[in-house]
Structure 1
Amino acid sequence: MFDIGFWELLIILVIGLLVLGPERLPGAIRSMQRTLAKVRAFGSRMEAEINHELRVKELHDHLKKIESAEDIEKLSPELKRSLAELQQAADSVRNPYGAQTPSKESTDASEEPKDTPSATNDKKDP
């Protein structure tokens, strides 16, 4: 963004100290840090959203090219990747819960261990 050197920072701190005083300067610095963090986070969110929208636009353009193509086998590798990605997205919308696998905890609880002492003791004759 911009680079502040040591002397520029020192001048800003001295002016801040003169204007705000020693009691309010630390609070003003913390407030400025929070504001800058919020601005950076907002910028990151906006960048991610713009990148997402550009990707959607790119996929939409590829879909139009695929629809206008006469032979799907002659598509470029980039268009084939886009087609596969669109098909995967469509499948996940059609069946959002179908591809889930059971969690490890639920499978562990349903299986009984075979070599436990209780299992081996039950098989012995008295």
Structure 2
Amino acid sequence: MFEVGFSELLLVGIVALMVLGPERLPVAARTLGRGLGQARKAMHALRTQVEREIDLGVVELPNLDRAPLQRLEQEIRQGISLKAEPANDAATVAATKENAS
């Protein structure tokens, strides 16, 4: 996940030692380790639950009225397929102003 080498870990450890001091560093490291462990357990439990519900088909989407969604999709596709007008350059703007006068 994170590509942290030995030199980076050593630098973080030295900075933590300087900031927290030798008395509070072990307590802070222990607290951080427990927090990370709990976060990993929670993520694993959540992933397991979601995979189980998907596999069992517990999560079912309600029957939706698809007509508005299809119209929206068509409108978006038509908007994307329209060709954009070329950008107005100075010559085109000047010619337009001369024709308007």
| Structure 2 Cα separation of the partners of residues 48 and 11 of structure 1 | 36
User: For residues 93-121 of structure 1, what are the alpha-carbon distances to aligned partners after superposition, in whole Å with 9 as ceiling and x for unaligned?
Assistant: xxxxxxxxxxxxxxxxxxxxxxxxxxxxx
Structure 1 residues 54-94: Cα deviation after superposition (integer angstroms, max 9, x where no partner): 11228x7xxxxxxxxxxxxxxxxxxxxxxxxxxxxxxxxxx
Q: Which amino acid aligns with 2:50?
A: I
Distance 1:22 1:51 in 2: 44
Equivalence map 1:44-123=2 (5 Å): 44-57=44-57
Report how many aligned residue pairs link the two structures. Answer: 60
User: 2:83 matched to which residue of 1?
Assistant: none
C-alpha distance in 2 between matches for 1:5 and 1:26: 21
Which residue matches 1:107? none
Q: TM-score, normalising length from structure 1?
A: 0.44
- For 2:75, the equivalent position in structure 1 comes to none
> How far off is 1:3 after superposition?
2.6
Backbone CA RMSD of aligned residues = 1.9
Q: Which runs of 5+ in 1 are unaligned?
A: 61-126
Give, in whole Å, the separation in 2 of the partners of 1:2 and 1:42: 19
Match of 2:69 in 1: none
Residue number in structure 2 paired with 1:9: 9
How far 1:2 sits from its partner (Å)? 1.3
Q: What is residue 42 of structure 2 aligned with on the other side?
A: 42
Shift of 1:33: 0.6
Q: Which runs of 4+ in 1 moved over 2 A?
A: none
Among all aligned residue pairs of Structure 1 and Structure 2, give the percentage whose two residues are the same amino acid: 37
Specify every segment of 5 or more residues in structure 2 that has no aligned partner in the other structure, as ranges. Answer: 61-101
Normalising by the residue count of structure 2, what TM-score does the alignment of the two structures yield?
Answer: 0.54
- Name the counterpart of 2:18: 18
Give the AA of the match of 1:37.
G
